[in-house]
Structure formats: C-alpha cells, structure tokens
Chains A and B, each alone.
Chain A
Amino acid sequence: MRRATLLLLALAACEMADQPRYDAYEPAPLFPNGASVQPPPEGAVARGYPARAATLATRPPLTPALLDRGRERYAIACVPCHGIAGDGDGVVPSRGFPPPPSFAEPRLRAAPAATIVDVITHGHGVMYSYADRVAPADRWAIAAYVRALQTSLGTPAADLPEADRAKLAEAGR
C-alpha cells in the first residue's frame, strides 16, 4: 500500500513537470505534422485584424515618442542591412548580401511615408516582408525615423550646433 502511494506520488511529480497539455513549440503527436501550433484554416481572420488594418492605414501624428520608438525598432530590424546611418552600409551587405540603396537617394527622399510602411509590410526586391516581425504601429515609427536619417544624411557636420559637433567628435573617436 505504502509502496503504491510512493509510486503514485513519483508519477504525479513527473506529471507536474510535463503536464498533459501542449505548450508553445511543444511536439504534438495529435496532429499529422507533429506541431502544437497549427496554421490557421484557410479564410481565417486573425483576432484584432480590423484594428491592425486600421493602424496600418492611418499615419500617426509625428511626435518625439514616435521617433524614439522608430529609432529603437530601426536598430533591431533594419540596421543589419541598412546600417545605423541609413546609408545601406550594414554588416549583412558586407558579407555579400546585395547592398540596399542609401536613404539619401532622391527617389527615396521623395517617397511618401506610406511607401516605406508598404515596403516593410510586403518587402521589396531581395528584401523579405517584415510583417511578422514589425507591428503596424512600429512600421510608421520606423518610417518616421527614416525621415530623420534622411535629414541627417543630407546635413554637413559643419551645420550642426556647437554642442552636437562636440558630441559627434566624441563619438567618432
């Protein structure tokens, strides 16, 4: 009797560590492809889709917070190829990826923000879509920051205020 109780307790301990449920990324023998995360059936509409679509369709007002968010998201998703300055001099092109154009190109300066958002959403040329990695609101933030980069790419260092020039010299050292 006591042995049976102990065995039951030991079994329960194992059960608790690996409970009969499918966690994210856990193998799931129940499904033919063995994955716990199944692709949605055809025609399925994701929860919150209308809100996401609306965010994507409407350009948000330009605020310092939006630019800050854009700088952070740009550093995560875009810097590897487009480079920290937006001149297309990223680390991935240096390893053989076709280099992207500099944001300073006139046609990119002339492109509306919605075009930048569209490229992030759908990709362009050899650039894949980033729709699964960059949320709609963040695409607008990145588009806003690209504008800031374009301004910076077209501004000679001599035009900067004294304080910023000192910072630049400090960073360059």
Chain B
Amino acid sequence: MPQIFTPSADTWPRVGVGLGIVAVTAAILLGAGLVQSAYVTSVDWVVDQPVPFSHLHHAGELGIDCRYCHAGVESAPNAGLPATEVCMTCHSQIWTGAPMLAPVRESLAKGEPLRWNRVARLPDYAYFDHSIHVSRGVPCVECHGRVDEMPLMKRGEPFTMAFCLDCHRDPAPHLRPPDQVTRMDWSDWTAERAADYGRRAMEAHHIEPSRLDDCGVCHR
C-alpha cells in the first residue's frame, strides 16, 4: 500500500504556521510604527499655502501676540483665521508692492477670502474648544509647537487621541498661567516649577483628571 503522507508532509504546514506568525507580528509592528510616524500624523510636514506666511517673522521676530490675528481663541471653539483686512492693517502701508503678497491684495480688492490650507485638523468626531483650554492655561505651544520658529507653518504635535489623553490624564505639567498663554519659550520653567504650578492651578479651577478622560468629554 502506497504512503499517503510524503516525508515532507509535516514540514510545509510548519513553515506555513511560522511564516504566518512572522507576518502577523510584522503587520502589528509596522502598523504601530506607521500610525505614529510623521507620514500619518503630518508632524513637521509643511503645508503649501497661497501666501508663504511666516510665523517666525510675525510671531517670533516682530513679537506680535498670537491673538492679534487669532482673535477668537479666548472666546470661541475656533481660534479664528484672520480676515484679509487683518493682514492689510499693516500691509496697506508696508511691503505694499511685494509680489509675495499679491494674493492678499487681490483678496481685498475682490472681496474674496484667501483660501488657506488647514494645518491643524481634528476629525469631526472629536469635539474641541480652544476657549476652555486657553482660559485654563494650556499654552499655545503645548499643541502647536514652537510656531515662532516656523518659517512656514507645520503641525507641531501629532493630533492623535493618545496625544490628547496624555494631557487629559495628567494635566499638571502642561498648565501655565493663563495671562501668559501665548508665551512660546518656557525653558526657564523647571519640571518641578511646572508640576507645582500645575497642581495649584488644578485645585483652583477644579480640574479633575478622573473625569477628563470620559469618552463624552471629547466625543459628543
């Protein structure tokens, strides 16, 4: 009677199972790395804009407060993009012929808003309100990075759920005095000073991390 199983009959399934384990592990590792990579989170990727606006120049070198242009940040969910008139407040008098600013002048002349391309974006299922973060003293730099050092705007932090939760679960080290919320450089604050301030601020504002990571805080 001929043999049904060849000598290699056991080998193939074993190789198959081995390869399967390797493939699943690789997929998990790749997946985990990929979702945190800049390719997915867009961190540090410059977004093309109709006008190459420099935050480095305006916020950094000239020291103009963030709220000069983003005037809604203290009172509204959206920080607010400046209307063309805000640009023209200065540029009606300086750099009036600059080719770089032609789209701004055209926007004012035609009454058509500039179409900026979004840099910091959250998915629609995440509810976010700037005003509460600003009034409790989460400084701009915490989520947007050193905007004052960016010649062209890019995303400073990965806007992943983990990024939001890291702070919601342990806000103390991230909080700063609300009257200095637009300050970018906090290098003179030691970790101890930040933790100490954060603890007091949380007491004063009744910030309770145990409730800050409830689903309904961000997903409404």
Contact = CB atoms under 8 A, between A and B. Distances in A.
Interface string A14-29: 0011110101110100
B118 interface: yes
Contacts of B113: 35
A98 interface: yes
Interface string B66-82: 01100100000110010
Contacts, number: 58
Nearest to A23: B124
B5 to A, nearest CB: 34
A92 B123 contact: no
B78 A24 contact: yes
Given A16-B125, A18-B124, A76 B67 contact: yes
Q: Please report whether the interface of chain B is mostly helix, strand, loop or mixed according to DSSP.
A: loop
A103 to B, nearest CB: 19
A91 B62 contact: yes
A21 B179 contact: no
A126 B89 CA distance: 8
Given A97-B93, A128-B85, A76 B123 contact: no
Interface of B: 62-65, 67-68, 71, 77-78, 81, 83, 85-86, 88-90, 92-94, 112-113, 115, 118, 123-125, 179
Pick the 5 closest A-B CB pairs, nearest first.
A17-B123, A19-B124, A76-B65, A128-B89, A96-B94
Given A18-B124, A98-B93, A126-B93, 17 more contacts: A17-B124, A18-B123, A21-B124, A24-B77, A25-B118, A72-B179, A76-B65, A80-B62, A80-B68, A91-B63, A92-B62, A96-B93, A96-B94, A97-B94, A128-B88, A132-B83, A133-B86
